[in-house]
Amino acid sequence: MEKTIAIVGAGLGGLTLARVLQAHGVAATIYEGEASATSRTQGGLLDIHEETGQVAVRAAGLHDEFLALVRPGEDAKRVVDRHGTILYDLPADPGSARPEVDRGELRGLFIDSLAPGTIRWGHRLASIRHRVEGGYVLSFSDGSVTHADLVIGADGAWSKVRPLLTPAEPVYSGTCFIEIALASGRQDCRASVAAIGSGTLMAVAPGKGIIAHRYADGHVRGYVALNRPEEWMRSIDFGDPSAGLRRLAAEFDGWSPLLTAFVTHSDAEPWLRPIHALPVGLAWHRVPGVTLVGDAAHLMSPFAGEGANLAMYDGADLAGKLVEHPDVEAALTAYEERLFLRSSASAGRSAQNLKDFFGQEAPQSVVTLFDRP
């Protein structure tokens, strides 16, 4: 392929796309707004699904390296009620088809697999416009400008590429997360950490929850989840983290102290993360020379576990279509037909699972969810 390819965003979707293209001898450049691969933390663990994420890893030729990142034993799941009573307890599965890996380590694997210079760090897209003679002009916040024949938006929830295809924007789901954590070796929280089990603890009730994951080294990361309006979020001030955490803990009045300790004793900076989603079934008409992968195309809540998996699968699938079809527009059409079908199904499950987690039937609805074959 002789066309210039610009990938906007160095998340897992954009990285997979570039890696699979390069494996087939096709060059692409990734433009990423962050200053470096380590400029911010990359979140917690991901369960990589056999039918999506692992397909992408294999297409990238990185399956053996991926297996070295797997964290055995951390896929255990435990559901409890507000009193800490165990309602569901699934032990770890050494042969799980959805093994857990650290998001940062997986991202690092893909970054290291790319040819030097593939990623242009510190290039935050400011604007993009179509050129009369074809292709697109990309302008970045540092003042630099480039052009490309083909542009793929892998730039996440608030994609600057998406408006070229659709006016759709993410909508607040009604649920927000606040990050919590406990450092390894906290003697004052030993009982709470033990209550997690070896994987993830989900303490849920209508409209709220405390979710915590125990890592192999003993540290804990998770979040508080609350169904609250946007006005409530604007009223929260974490300028004084201790005061903010006390206010959060008050939302769980009457809950077991073993559970509220994850909030009152948290040593994480309490970031507020409202959960947004694009409309289920989002599709668009074909626009020459541009498409989307990952959250830019199908942002959804994390309650189907599909976000990162679909992003990687999107990247691998799009690369495969571009290699397979000599005509770029035929490749993009074939890719988007499949994209719309798989993302609609996953987004629908995600939206329903979010309701199950914090709806009026919680926590029994969560037990039912995990009991489904």
d(CA 287, CA 240): 48
In order, the DSSP letters of 218-255 are: S-EEEEEEEE--HHHHHH---SSHHHHHHHHHHTTTTS
Which residue ranges form the domains of the chain, and what is each CATH number? Answer: 5-71+96-169+279-356 (3.50.50.60), 171-276 (3.30.9.30)
Residues linked to residue 250 through DSSP beta bridges, in sequence order = none
Identify the pLDDT of residue 289: 97
Give 233-273 pLDDT, tens digit per residue.
777 777 777 788 888 899 999 999 999 999 999 998 888 89
DSSP H or E stretch at residue 157: none
What is this structure's pTM?
0.94
- Helices 328-358/364-371 angle, 10° precision: 140
Q: What is the pLDDT of residues 304-348, one digit of tens each?
A: 889 999 999 999 999 999 999 989 999 999 999 999 999 999 999
Percent of the chain scored above 70 by pLDDT?
99
pLDDT confidence of residue 232: 83
- In angstroms, what CA-CA distances link 110 with 118, 177, 295, 345? 11, 28, 18, 27
Q: Where are the alpha helices (DSSP H) in 197-327?
A: 230-235, 241-250, 257-264, 295-298, 307-324
